[in-house]
Amino acid sequence: MRNYDVMREIIIDIANSESPIKYGAFRDIEDEPAIKEELHRLKDEGLYKGEIRFLDGNGTCQGGEIEGLTKEGMEFYRLIENYDVWEIMRKTLDEAQIDISYPLLKEVCQEIVKRYVASFIPDIKRKTFE
């Protein structure tokens, strides 16, 4: 199952970095297997530039660095950077209990953001003109 909170932390760390990031920059995230898995998935999904290399897939880090988010990665970051919106998304994803790939995840996040913003639109009563 995808660890959506780890995914978000990695994306935020990359987005907020002013220089390339090495694997050690993710030490504050306590779930190392999830970090490795998400780094692979986010790379495969085209959300960051650069590469962190691991021995035999998810083994020992062999080096490399992440240069930053791609355009697609930055667009996704903008969807998930607001913590209140993220909490709604995380709760929705946790309740669904499914592991979804990035394209569908982006659609779900866009829909949640649309609904969240729409919830702030006041009811406008229509005036009748005679």
Q: Which domains does the chain have, with CATH numbers?
A: 4-118 (1.10.10)
Q: Which pLDDT score, from 0 to 100, does residue 16 have? A: 95
Count, residues in the chain: 130
Question: Could you tell me if 50 and 66 are in contact, meaning their C-beta atoms sit under 8 angstroms apart?
Answer: yes
Q: Which pLDDT score, from 0 to 100, does residue 127 have? A: 66
pTM of the model: 0.85
In angstroms, the CA 108 to CA 27 distance is 29
Is a pLDDT exceeding 80 seen at residue 10? yes
Top-confidence residue, 15 or 84: 15
Classify residue 87 as exposed, middle or buried by CB count within 10 Å of its CB (0-12, 13-18, 19+).
exposed
Top-confidence residue, 124 or 12: 12
The amino acid occupying position 3 is: N
Is a pLDDT exceeding 90 seen at residue 17? yes
